[in-house]
Amino acid sequence: MAKTQKTSSHLVPPAKTELLLKKYKIPYTKQAVAGTEEQAVAHAKKLGFPVVMKIISPQVVHKSDAGGVVTDVAQENVAPTFHTLIKQVKRRNPKAQIHGVLLQQQASGRELIVGAKHDPTFGPVLMVGLGGIFVEVLKDVAFRLIPPEKKDVKTMIRELEGYPLLHGVRGERSIHFPSLESTLLKVSNLFSREKIQELDINPLFASPKGVTAADVRIIV
């Protein structure tokens, strides 16, 4: 009997995602996984306040749509938020398995998106864009073939309609472009070397000091 070929794609769990980013030196917001309220409180103290708390569940891909993300959590709210998050997600999807709650340092800056995927026509491609309404409404994104050269990542950033915003408007400071450029090259490098179907960083926070990924989805 011929074997049926199964090609199933799945989401890489948070701990493994963190290791992969570390291996390629892609900056990732400091984080820790809590299985209990007590662990959540202890982790939050180490991370510093406010923290961001997120549900970890293989069934929940879009966490905020499922009530699975709370930002700006103060010390006294960590324990109650731990339970609220689980309750909210369970209410919307009673079958969701909860693997814990992720606590992160709260980042600030411009929200960007960075992605890599296999395009059916072009092959491996790298993407960068401005997050929020820029990507959802204006589709303000730029693509390059993987692996890009340093000059390619510079020009792809400049192609964005929202590029002036990254430079800072009305007295704001410019984001740190060298960090963004090197992160794009590292993402391309990770994608070329690991067996990955798709990688999405949304958001990558960009500030005058540097960049940091706050939400990373890797599909293998």
Taking the least distance from each CB to ligand ADP, the nearer of 64 and 97 is 64
- Rounded (10°) angle between helices 78-92 and 37-47: 120
**Residue 55 and residue 101: Cα distance in Å, rounded?**
5
Q: Nearest CA to 78 among 29, 43, 107?
A: 43
Among 103, 215, 216, 218, indicate the residue that binds Mg ion (CB under 5 A).
215
Taking the least distance from each CB to Mg ion, the nearer of 191 and 205 is 205
Contacts with ligand ADP by CB under 6 A: the residue count is 16
Q: State the binding partner of 104 from Mg ion, ligand ADP, none, CB within 5 to 8 A by kind.
A: ligand ADP
Among 57, 81, 183, 202, indicate the residue that binds Mg ion (CB under 5 A).
202
Q: Least distance in Å: CB of 69 to Mg ion?
A: 8
The C-alpha angle with vertex 168 and arms to 165 and 170, in degrees rounded to 5, equals 105
Segment 191 to 210, residues that bind ligand ADP, using CB under 6 A:
202-203
Residues near Mg ion (CB under 5 A) are 202, 215
Residues near ligand ADP (CB under 6 A) are 29, 52, 54, 62-64, 69, 71, 104, 106-107, 111, 202-203, 214-215
